[in-house]
């Protein structure tokens, strides 16, 4: 009896999380995939099988432009979060020896997460607006004679807000990778006559790639589905696939929204797969 219980115990332990996984992930995705093939008559949807939803997406100039705009946001946000996140993580890992100060500085990095995303985005409006602090500063020091409109309700504002929201997701995995680097490797490279740049290029950067990959996956997946930030910070003037899906759901175009969701999921998974094929992140897990 005891041996029989031992044989089924692992399956019983994984049953709850398997049910949650199936119920809240697999089943919704499967439902979206099925609905993406349904017909939409303009006022109602009919269960069936049609490729019109996908055909409309790939033949529509608006849809293609929206996907390109989304990829632009993803590329820019990924680039700036990496440019900001790597130096911060490097500083914490190699220049802060005290664990206490590392924790304190990490808490400083998490301060934006103490409030909701909406509040963090809205907080940029009085800073970037025509009568905001930034324009007043530029006018005050004589760099411009009139307020600059590009700071708010533009692609610049969207990218800035996303970088503000997601930089921490790049910092943490890179910091974890840097902390795992054996300092003896760096000492050996220096003893062999390597310069600081050579140590960084040949030792630190290659060993930090798994952390960069994990951070990139976080940032890419979060940015690909963004719609609230795009709506608020662009004033409705910029488009993203997430925002497009939200509008289609609002107008009851569920099959078309489902088709866009499927394509977005496939593209995101393809990007993640490409990252995983390029960099082995198993050592970080």
Q: Residue 187's domain is classified under what CATH number?
A: 1.10.3720.10
Note whether residue 265 is domain-resident.
yes
Note whether residue 15 is domain-resident.
no
Mean pLDDT across 268-279? 91
At residue 284 the predicted structure's pLDDT band, cuts being 50, 70 and 90, is low
Q: Flag whether pLDDT at 92 surpasses 70.
A: yes
- Tokens linked to 194: 């390597």
Note whether residue 275 is domain-resident.
yes
At residue 283 the predicted structure's pLDDT band, cuts being 50, 70 and 90, is low
17-69 pLDDT, tens digit per residue, is 889 989 988 999 999 999 999 988 777 778 888 899 999 999 999 899 999 99
Mean pLDDT across 195-214? 91
Could you tell me what percent of the chain has a pLDDT over 90?
A: 41
Mean pLDDT across 269-276? 92
Note whether residue 46 is domain-resident.
no
Domain count, the chain: 1
Note whether residue 113 is domain-resident.
yes
* CA atoms of 279 and 211, how far apart (whole Å): 10
Mean pLDDT across 240-255? 90
93 CB neighbour count, 10 Å cutoff: 19
Note whether residue 8 is domain-resident.
no
- Tokens linked to 14: 């994984």
* CA atoms of 223 and 166, how far apart (whole Å): 9
Q: Residue 137 has what pLDDT?
A: 85
Specify the pTM.
0.88
* CA atoms of 106 and 91, how far apart (whole Å): 11
225-238 pLDDT, tens digit per residue, is 888 889 888 887 88
User: Which residues constitute the domain of residue 107?
Assistant: 62-284
Mean pLDDT across 248-272? 92
Mean pLDDT across 98-107? 83
Q: Is the dihedral of CA 257, 20, 228, 265 positive or negative?
A: negative
- DSSP summary character for residue 225: T
- DSSP summary character for residue 273: H
């Amino acid at each position: 009896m005891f041996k029989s219980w031992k044989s089924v115990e692992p399956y019983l332990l994984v049953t709850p999380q398997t049910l949650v996984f199936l119920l809240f992930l697999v089943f919704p995705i499967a439902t979206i995939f099925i609905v993406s093939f349904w017909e939409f008559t303009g006022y109602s949807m009919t269960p069936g099988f049609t490729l019109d939803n996908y055909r409309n997406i790939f033949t529509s100039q608006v849809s293609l432009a929206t996907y390109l705009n989304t990829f632009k946001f993803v590329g820019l946000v990924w680039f700036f979060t990496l440019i900001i996140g790597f130096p911060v993580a490097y500083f914490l890992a190699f220049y802060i020896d005290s664990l206490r100060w590392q924790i304190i500085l990490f808490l400083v990095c998490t301060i934006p997460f103490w409030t909701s995303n909406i509040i963090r985005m809205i907080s940029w409006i009085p800073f970037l607006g025509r009568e905001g602090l930034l324009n007043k500063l530029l006018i005050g020091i004589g760099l411009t004679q009139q307020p600059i409109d590009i700071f708010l309700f533009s692609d610049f504002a969207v990218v800035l807000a996303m970088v503000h929201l997601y930089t921490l997701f790049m910092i943490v995995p890179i910091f974890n990778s840097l902390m795992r680097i054996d300092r003896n490797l760096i000492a050996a490279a220096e003893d062999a006559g390597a310069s600081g740049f050579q140590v960084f290029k040949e030792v630190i950067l290659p060993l930090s790639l798994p952390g960069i990959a994990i951070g990139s996956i976080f940032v890419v997946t979060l940015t690909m589905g963004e719609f609230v930030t795009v709506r608020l910070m662009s004033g409705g003037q910029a488009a993203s696939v997430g925002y497009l899906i939200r509008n289609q759901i609002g107008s009851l175009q569920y099959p078309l929204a489902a088709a866009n969701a499927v394509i977005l999921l496939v593209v995101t998974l393809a990007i993640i797969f490409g990252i995983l094929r390029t960099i082995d992140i198993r050592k970080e897990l």
